[in-house]
Structure 1
């Protein structure tokens, strides 16, 4: 912003102090916002992660998940961060996905024992056609908790721990015991802020029972989970390749701040 300063008699240093609403403040606040974040992916190899190397690799500093015609999936597969089971945290990074791709960032999740590299839990949904990107979807659980643009409160249903009652509360791939309490914007309008087949930044803020998903600095979904029977307050982190056609997803600059 200050490549050339044609402000006669006003030192550039003074401009930086005076224009606190401009790029100087942005740069400083940007540095402050990174305080406490630690990288969880080294960009060189899969150290610290566990997944099926048929689908996951490192390429040009990015974590790559790819399905080819020869490696089509029967069940969704994750690569799982082995550094702990975060409870309250912020997670930042960037993703790029091909048009036919489907992926997601799982958190507060548990690993299944009967299916290789499968996670059950909250997911920040991402897809190449940008139908679902930004929503909150519970993998192998309550399904959709909040669509893009929704502020939602999730309540406990009577007998929600009973399998039959649980299934009855899932209709049209969405959990019925959810109440839309506010709007973050129309889904179609928010969709225009997400770039197709290009890099997008994500930021998850997970604190207590409040789950916020940001893409490119914009809040896309906001869930308050009061369902004490089904919610999870800590668990594994992982990223997904989804059953479907050949696809490729890349993640980079993954960094975590535990709160």
Structure 2
């Protein structure tokens, strides 16, 4: 058998090409493996990491039923994934009614939800409340106010108790009535608690109101920690109460959403998320 020798120059060219190809393949494999490792590491971190702002929030409305809620079925139902409250001229309210969460009393917590309200609507998110037993499905206590005209949305109004504790755009300090006054209503003037002390303006009331969309969905966020109560709408702080009234304040209680007496109205709530602090 005759062996055919490859010229030296050609051999060197072929050898160089083989080395380049080999190095290229090795580099590709290395880069590929590093890329794969980085991808897997990223996946691992993504599964193990959660945004602290959203961690521990739990849905308390499943979007399908009102299981876990107490309510008057004459006025409340589920529609298009939302809790739907409605009154009509033929089916008016005689007293404010609430859909009440049956999960127990809340102390320190954060609560987020989206709401939609008709132009004539009057509503709110009730919290740290007790039952007003004279009326079925009724609560009394702190309320993050909501209304279709956006005159009051975001303020802190205490239903059936001390009335307005902070208007929209206010940070307030709440003090007790004098010992000589035992009836709460005797220390209320023009639908506001006389122990409302303005600490700071959070912003112009009208300008803050312009951040709330009429005839559309908005988000509300309540933070209750100790005696400090904050109401946010669409991510903006609308009111803040420091309740130093040890005679009348509530440090825990029931939570629910209101439908107010008045003209026919519709109120909807969805994406209801709770975090206990």
Q: Paired residue for 2:70, among 50, 59, 68?
A: 50
Shift of 1:32: 2.9
Q: Does 1:190 align with 2:212?
A: no
Distance 1:155 1:34, change over 3 A: same
Aligned residues: 230
Q: Does 1:217 align with 2:235?
A: yes
Q: Which residue of 1 aligns with 2:165?
A: 145
Q: Distance in 2 between matches of 1:182 and 1:199?
A: 29
- TM-score relative to the length of structure 1: 0.86
Shift of 1:159: 2.0
Unaligned runs of 5+ in 1: 1-28
Q: Which residue of 2 aligns with 1:62?
A: 82
Shift of 1:161: 6.5
Q: Which residue of 1 aligns with 2:265?
A: 247
Bigger Rg, which one: 2
Distance 1:119 1:160, change over 3 A: farther
Q: Which residue of 2 aligns with 1:36?
A: 56
Structure 1: 4+ residue segments shifted above 2 A: 29-32
Shift of 1:208: 0.2
Equivalent positions of 1:117-196 (< 5 A) are 117-159=137-179, 162-163=182-183, 166-196=184-214
Q: What secondary structure does 2:105 align onto?
A: coil
- TM-score relative to the length of structure 2: 0.81
Q: Distance in 1 between matches of 2:133 and 2:187?
A: 25
| 8 Å Cα contact 2:161/2:185 also seen in 1 | no
| 8 Å Cα contact 2:85/2:259 also seen in 1 | yes
Q: What secondary structure does 2:246 align onto?
A: coil
Q: Distance in 2 between matches of 1:234 and 1:54?
A: 29
Q: Distance in 1 between matches of 2:67 and 2:181?
A: 37
Q: Distance in 2 between matches of 1:256 and 1:113?
A: 26
Shift of 1:168: 2.2
Question: Deviations 1:92-121 (Å, cap 9, x if unpaired)?
Answer: 010010000000000000012221001000
Q: Which residue of 2 aligns with 1:107?
A: 127
Shift of 1:167: 2.1
Q: Does 1:200 align with 2:243?
A: no
Unaligned runs of 5+ in 2: 1-48
